[in-house]
Amino acid sequence: MKKFLIIVSLFSVIYIFWSCDSSNKPATGFEDVIYVVADSLEYEDLKVSLDAAFEVIINTPLPEKLFTLKRISSNQIEKIKNKKNIVIVAPLNSGSYTSQYIKSIVDKEIQKKLETDDNFILSKYDLWAKNQLVTVLSAANMQELEFKILKNKDNLLYAYQKISDKRLKESLYTPRYERKAIEGLLLRDYGWLIYVQADFKLAKNDKESKFVWLRRSPGSDMERWIFIHWIDNATPEYLNSDSIKAIRNRMTKKFYQVRGDTAYVVLVDSFYTTTEVNFNGRYALYTQGLWDLNIKGMGGPFVNYTFYDEKSRRIYMLDGSIFAPKYYKRNLIQQIDVILQSFLTKDEISKDRMDDLIDDIDESIKY
C-alpha cells in the first residue's frame, strides 16, 4: 500500500460538537469508503481536489483506489453517523445546506480559523461511534477551500489511513489466533518479535542468511508472504532506494524460487516508489510496488519497511507480498502492512511478555 505519507506534519485536531455523546458501539462499514457530506453542486466543484486527496490509485497490478468517496446530502447525516469515515465539506459562506450545517456545529472562533487559516482542519475521533473519524473541511469560499484540500491532502489521507490501520490492528491482533510458539522462537534466537497469525507457517528460518519467511496459504490463489531480513554491524548508509532494491532482489532470488532455481521473484523497476516514514517512532524508508518473476508469468504487490536500529546496530528489512490474481488486493495489502507494523525489538518488549512467549516455544516447529 502506498504509504501515507512521507514525514507527517501536525494534523490539526479540534474537539468539536461538545453537546454530542459518543457511542460505545464500534463504527461500521467498509474500511475503504469515506462518506462525504456535501451539497451536490459543491461536491462537483470540489471533486477533483477531494479525489486527489482520498481516491489515490495504487497498482496491484490493476489500478485500485485507496479510498472511494460516497456523497450524501446534509439532511441524510443521521443515516451515516455510525460509519467509520466521514468528511463534511462546504465553503463556509456559500449559504448551502452543508455550509449552514457546519456553522451550526462550530462556534464563531472556529469559523474564523476555518476562514483565515489554510492549514486549519477540524477533526473529531469517536464522535458518534468508536474508532470513527469525522473531518470538517471549510474555508471562506470555494477557491480557498479547493486550495486547502490540495495543500493538506497528504495529512488528510494519512489521518484516515492511520485510523483504518488502528481498527484493522484491533481485529487482527487476537491472542486466540496467535502463534506464540513461533513468536517466542524468533524472539529468543534473533531478538525481535512480529505478530504471527494462526494460519501463517514458518516457511524458512535461515540463521546464516539472517532471513525468516512466514507464509500463508501456500499453493493457493490467495497467498501472503512476509519476510524479515537483518544486517548486523550495519550503518544507516544502507538506507537508500538503490540499496533496498539490491538487498530485496538478492533475498528473493535466493529464497522466493519456483521451478527449481530457474524462476525467482524480482522487483519491477517501473512500478515501485520509496518514501520516508515514521515506523513506530523510527525513521524508515517505505517501499511499495510490484513484484514479478524473472521469466514473467505471475506477480503482485508488495510493501517494505527498511530502518536502522541504533541499539542493535542492525538494518532491518520487513517485507510483505501478495499473490491473489483473482481478488481485489487493496485490503489484503493493508492487512499485511498492519502485520509488519507489529514488529518490535527485544528492547521494546516487557520482561513479562518476553518470558511468556519464550515459555511457549515449540522446538519441534518444522519449516
Q: Mean of the per-residue pLDDT values for the chain?
A: 91
pLDDT at 296: 81
Tell how strand 33-37 and strand 57-59 pair up. Answer: unpaired
CATH for the 33-172 domain, from 1.20.1050, 3.30.379, 2.60.40, 1.10.3470: 3.30.379
pLDDT at 177: 86
Angle between helices 40-54 and 142-151 (to 10 degrees): 20
* Residue 19 clears pLDDT 50, i.e. is over it: no
Confidence band of 18 (pLDDT split at 50, 70, 90): very low
Look at residue 1 in the predicted model and tell me its pLDDT.
Answer: 47
Distances (CA, A) of 334 to 2, 67, 320: 10, 12, 10
User: Do 205 and 226 form a contact (C-beta atoms < 8 A)?
Assistant: no
CATH class of 175-359: alpha beta
Nearby residues of 220 by Cβ (< 8 Å), 6 or more positions away: none
Lowest mean pLDDT among 83-92, 182-191, 289-298: 289-298
Nearest to 142 by CA among 69, 56, 49, 68: 49
Domain range list for the chain: 33-172, 175-359
Instruction: Single out the residue of 86, 319, 349 nearest to residue 215, CA to CA.
Output: 319
Q: What per-residue confidence (pLDDT) applies to 175? A: 84
Per-residue pLDDT at 253 exceeds 90: yes
pLDDT in tens, 163-180: 999 999 999 988 888 999
- Percent of the chain past pLDDT 70, that is, above it, reads 91
pLDDT 10s digits, 27-70: 999 999 999 999 999 999 999 999 999 999 999 999 999 999 99
pLDDT greater than 70 at residue 366: no
C-alpha cell at 235: 550503518
Residue that has been written with the C-alpha cell 446530502 in this structure: 73
Most distant pair of Cα atoms in the chain: their distance: 70
- CA dist 242 to 95, 269, 287, Å? 53, 11, 11
Q: Compute the average pLDDT of residues 299-308.
A: 96
Query: For the segment 330-340, what is each residue's pLDDT rounded down to a tens digit?
Result: 999 999 999 99
Helices 153-172 and 330-340: angle between axes, nearest 10 degrees: 80
C-alpha 156/C-alpha 142 separation (Å) is 18
Task: With residue 182 as reference, give the H or E element that holds it.
Answer: helix 180-190
pTM: 0.89
Q: Do domains 33-172 and 175-359 have the same CATH topology?
A: no
Q: How far apart are CA 161 and CA 178, in angstroms?
A: 24
